Amino acid sequence: NAGVTQTPKFQVLKTGQSMTLQCAQDMNHNSMYWYRQDPGMGLRLIYYSASEGTTDKGEVPNGYNVSRLNKREFSLRLESAAPSQTSVYFCASNLGLGSIGETQYFGPGTRLLVL
Amino acid sequence: QKEVEQDPGPLSVPEGAIVSLNCTYSNSAFQYFMWYRQYSRKGPELLMYTYSSGNKEDGRFTAQVDKSSKYISLFIRDSQPSDSATYLCAMSGNAGNMLTFGGGTRLMVKP
């Protein structure tokens, strides 16, 4: 049981290049999330998918797109990377049923550097 | 102004000390309050979870929520070097789904 996995672990891009960050969970969770973490800013929600087939914008969606490929996988795409997108990206998931005591489970993160 | 404020630290304490970590928030709709621990170069992991006001204890950790003051705290008793990490508070108006995070406090416990 791997939990939430993310690939790649680290990536360097040049301005204008594109890339896709991959996320998969094996906990049969309904909801999945993409966050970015910058120093002193905490975690900010980029996009989320409440259930398979749905996606919604979070706090900072500009410059990103997402795809909920199936129940397990949720990818984040940068179409034209900018230096402002240098960050650590975390994927998370949870049951999404609104039950008390529920939490989000996080992956190990992808460190992205845009030059 | 951010919805959730947290002193970034770093907070440095000797082993065995009692640690107090705090967050303030502005959104009165928040009902669910969480503390996540994040080790360097790792993803956050849930440490404590409380609903509404009151205290919750789990081993050396106590989470406290004061909704009237919009203030939450995490206390760590008998702190250990292994507690050295960044502690993030998070809160939600509904159970677990949309979380708003504080910026995190970096804690260092010296042997």
pLDDT per residue over A38-79, tens digit each? Answer: 987 789 999 999 889 899 999 899 999 999 989 999 999 999
More confident residue, B107 or A101: B107
pLDDT of residue B98: 78
With an 8 Å Cβ cutoff, is B97 touching chain A?
Answer: yes
Cis peptide before A8 (omega within 30 of 0): yes
Nearest residue in A to B95, CA atom: A98
- b/e code A53-78 from CB counts within 10 Å (16+ = b): eebeebebbeebebebeebbbbbbeb
| Mean pLDDT per 10-residue section of chain B, whose length is 111 residues | 87 97 94 93 91 89 95 96 96 75 95 95
pLDDT of residue B21: 97
pLDDT of residue B52: 82
Please choose, from the candidates B89, B78, B2, the residue with its C-alpha nearest in 3D space to the C-alpha of residue B44. Answer: B89
Q: Which one of B95, B98, B103 has the shortest CB-CB distance to A100?
A: B95
Q: Which one of A41, A98, A106 has the shortest CB-CB distance to B44?
A: A106
pLDDT of residue A100: 55
Q: Which one of A44, A50, A109 has the shortest CB-CB distance to B43?
A: A109
Tokens 């989470």 found at: B63
Nearest residue in B to A102, CA atom: B96
pLDDT of residue A40: 73
Residue A98 pLDDT exceeds 70: no
Cβ count near B64 (within 10 Å): 19
Look at chain A and count its residues: 115
CA distances (Å), origin B100, targets A66, B29, B31, B75, B92: 20, 12, 12, 21, 6
Which residues on neighbouring strands pair with residue B86, listed in sequence order?
B38, B106
A38: which chain B residues are within 8 Å (Cβ-Cβ)? none
Residues A31, B6: C-beta atoms closer than 8 Å: no
pLDDT of residue B51: 83
Instruction: Using an 8 Å CB-CB cutoff, list residues of chain A that contact chain B.
Output: 4, 31, 40-45, 48, 50, 90, 92, 94-96, 98-109
